[in-house]
Amino acid sequence: MKKLIIVLLLLMLVGPPAGLVSVAALINPAARSCTAGSLIVGRIPDSLTAKTRSGNSVTLNTQQLTHAATITTIGSLTAGVGHPGVVIALMAALTESSLRMLANPTAYSESASYPNDGDGHDHDSLGLFQMRPASGWGTVAELMDPAYQARAFYGGVGGPNAGSPRGLLDIPDWQQLDPGQAAQAVEVSAYPDRYQDFQPVAEAILAALTSNGSTASGGAATRVPETARVVFPLPDGSFTNTDSFGWRTDPVTGARAFHAGSDLAAPAGTPILAVADGRVVFAGPRGTYGGLIVLEHTVGGQTVASYYAHMYDAGIHVSVGDSVAAGQHIGDVGSAGKSTGPHLHLEIHPGGQDAPAVNALDWLTEHGAAGVGGSDINIAGCRPERIP
């Protein structure tokens, strides 16, 4: 409880009052901070030049800055990280790899088969943060994923390593350390003084990436960074598939009509989860949808919009402009709008809101959507009868 209070106080200091994270979101490992504040990534520059503390000039290309955007976005979606934590992560990645995803074919020949920016040769180290499989950071496949490396660096209760090796959030009082010392506490380098030199570069990167970010009040639309994963929108064992995508007889009007979503019946109040990392572009009542949340994501380089419908007003837990994480609890199942019983109406629109919908369940399967267990969010395990 003491640690939770400390995290809440930290969030009050580093983020705006509107961005405070609920206690439930901090307790539930599947839920992460729902607002990114000044950490919302905007347009990624073609290049950026900045000087280190020692006066050396560093020029970064779009690929390096894209990796920086991934680190920033994961940080924005991880409760307790904030601006200071992202700066530390960028300092570490700049020092260890110059913000490049490095394979290591000498140690692991298979690492060269994953997308990479070149080869490294430091022991069996891999990727942006030069993490070692032999030290328990993850498998080769995991460590060749930039988003996984970022989550591992931040660590904490939602991190992939459960505190061993320690991520930033696992370091006691890391906020009180010099940023270079905090980076060293995670990296455990033989050269601990290198990180401090890159703090001005990290600050310049973060300023450049977030200067055009949208705001919680609904600023101009910006690029949503690539999602770290895709998940199913309801907890395992909580739902029944009741109506599919395509032409059908409308259960309310009796007329033949096209159904643009997939209906998943579940008890009222069942948590609805974001299918991918993204940003809230609509949250509120909308006609026959009832209470509706619309998220925008980037999946495989493509803009994708996901729709979650039929919530009651009190069942909507996010606001326009919020950043959300895959698996985050964004709302509760209801039966508002044109509905014959509690269920989630899910739509997936590859190409964005103005593009046609596709079969949501097929899309989730094609993108390897993982299930999210319901034990941590206290779901009743019952299955309701089929909605007409």
**Contact call for residues 55 and 189 (beta carbons, < 8 A):** no
Q: Which of 43, 52, 3, 45 is nearest to 27 (CA)?
A: 3
DSSP 78-128: STT-HHHHHHHHHHHHHHHHSS---B-TTT-GGGGGS--S-B--STT-BTT
**Contact call for residues 109 and 102 (beta carbons, < 8 A):** no
Whole-number Å distance between alpha carbons of 155 and 170 = 6
Q: Which of 46, 6, 51, 53 is nearest to 26 (CA)?
A: 6
**Contact call for residues 279 and 40 (beta carbons, < 8 A):** yes
Provide the pLDDT confidence category of residue 2 given band limits of 50, 70 and 90: very low
Q: Which of 170, 239, 220 is nearest to 383 (CA)?
A: 239
Min mean pLDDT across 57-61, 103-107, 248-252, 374-378 is at: 374-378
Domains of the chain (ranges; CATH) run 2-210 (no CATH), 240-377 (2.70.70.10)
Best-predicted range by mean pLDDT (3-7, 119-123, 220-224): 119-123
Q: Write out pLDDT tens, residues 69-99.
A: 999 989 988 888 888 999 999 999 999 999 9
Helical (H) or strand (E) element with 24:
helix 23-27
Q: What is the mean pLDDT of the chain?
A: 82
Looking at per-residue pLDDT, the higher value among 246 and 52 belongs to: 52
